[in-house]
Amino acid sequence: MEIKGIITAMVTPFDENQKINETAARQLVDKLISQGVHGLFILGTNGEFHVLSDDEKVEFAKIVIDQAAHRVPVYVGAGACGTQETIKLAQRMEAVGADALSVISPYFIAPTQQELADHYRKVAEAVNIPIIMYNIPKNTGINIEPETVKSLIGVKNIAGIKDSSGNMENMQGYIDAGKNSDFVVLVGSDSKILPALKIGAAGAIAGTSNVIAELDVSIYENYLKGNLEAAEQAQKDIDVLRGVLKLGTVPSVMKRAVTLLGINVGDARYPVSKLPAEADEQIKAALAYYKL
């Protein structure tokens, strides 16, 4: 499979009892694919992996993989604090048909770069599908350094990295490390999709594409066609949605926006609280900007 394009960091729909909502999940998968996304990335930050049990994660992965039906690749989050726990979950996700795995760096403690490299090697050896490392230092407290990535290039199954650091120099380091290899770099900061493509990223894992998939896809498509002006404008337009995302804790506003557009994905799981009713007006105003 080719790892590229706009890949939606998909939200996990819940019902009013905060249980996985299979109907809404299937609807959202179909909608996103119909809007042209190049892949689905589940059980990441926007997918609330941090508040789901492993059994729930596997259940949700089965639903999404079944509904996607090989129309686009499904990248499945399988990261955990411990290497053994990560391997166990990664193997379960491979068994249910994940096309690739996303593995966040261990969090809470701060492993050394050598420990990080060992962690990824052990996970990669334990499965037979591609692994995308996931760098989000703001949340994990640790950056996967470009030198560490360089040491993992060529390790079987380590296919790429998602960089949500927002640091272009860091991303450039990853891109340089992967030169002359099949290793891919995906940007995880929606405000940096076009700048990342310009320096050699293969695509973006974009949370905003839950809501504005066609706009996000247009950045990628216009960039490929050389329509830089249109790509620049689309990149700027994302900021309207990004502005309202600050109204609540991740991913409460994103989920509310998806619900307002017709697929009831429910609220974020506790401890994230329900958005106040007045937030709807600002969210609706942002959606109106996109004529949604």
Q: Which residues are catalytic?
A: 134, 162
Instruction: Answer whether 65's CB lies under 8 Å from 42's CB.
Output: no
Nearest to 217 by CA among 228, 206, 229: 206
Which residues line the annotated binding site for pyruvate? 205
**Which residues are 230's β-sheet partners?**
none
Q: Coil, helix or strand for 206?
A: strand
Which residues line the annotated binding site? 205
Both structure tokens of 111: 């492993």
Distances (CA, A) of 74 to 5, 8, 52: 13, 10, 18
Which stretches of 69-112 are DSSP H helices? 83-95
Cβ-Cβ contacts under 8 Å for 229 (sequence gap 6 or more):
none
